[in-house]
Amino acid sequence: MTSTDQVPAQRAVSSASIAEVTARMREIGATLPRQDGVAVFDRVYLSVTEELERRLVSGHFADRAATGELGTRFARRFLDAVDAEAAGLRTPACWRPLFRFRRHPSVHPLQFALAGINAHICHDLPLALVDTCQALGVGPDTLETDFERIGELLTGLEERIREELMPGPDLLDVADPLTHLIGAWSLERARCGAWAAFRALWGLRTFGELLEDMADGLDSTVAMTGRCLLTPLWH
């Protein structure tokens, strides 16, 4: 995958419905071993996307159409990366650490989940926001209110990860490497960073080369963090 493929101004994304992307996530979960790192992230992300679908139906969001468009385009970036990797094609750099270490016996499931969230929120979300604004012909202000409401879902994502994937309390002391790793990464900071990156990309949308450089730099930086999150910790 070339850098141009990752630049929102030049990447044509075909938008499917939220129901279609959740169906694809279920397919991924059904075909992979449960302990596979991609499957671990897929399960967590599926639960959040299903909740997004429920809230769209209930009228929770101010602009249902725009939020549905964003949710679909956001999910598609993860699904596109999975499909590219399965086909032996080049994937965005931010997803490569998870694909490389997905079966490593010394990486904890919590690390797989965090690495997937890091790639998806810090890289895919800013690009999906730009995709959505361009597709709908609107500016960032149109999405800001519902972006904050989506933040509530992401907070739920973090809580779910801690409930389902954290090891027992006997393993969680201040000297434990996993405890240190968890404390070094923040979903809230990642979400705020994603919005800032989106605004920067949006400001560069008419400057092709600068936009591409910004997208490439974002991808590389997120990839470095993902590699650190997947540091093998025990056997």
What pLDDT is recorded for position 28?
Answer: 96
**Residue 111: which of 98, 125, 127 has the closest Cα?**
98
Say which DSSP state 205 is in.
T
CA distance 116 to 112: 6
pLDDT digits (tens, 9 = 90+) for 157-173: 777 777 767 665 544 55
Name the least confident of 8-12, 48-52, 64-68, 216-220. 8-12
For the segment 176-218, what is each residue's pLDDT rounded down to a tens digit?
Answer: 777 777 777 888 899 999 999 999 999 999 998 999 999 999 9
Burial class (CB in 10 A: 0-12, 13-18, 19+), 98: buried
Specify the 3-state DSSP secondary structure of 36. coil
CA distance 135 to 207: 18
**What tokens does 199 get?**
């605004």
pLDDT digits (tens, 9 = 90+) for 87-114: 999 999 999 999 999 999 999 999 999 9
Residues 147 and 49: their CA atoms lie apart, in Å, by: 14
The residue-averaged pLDDT of 33-53 equals 94
**pLDDT of 81:** 97
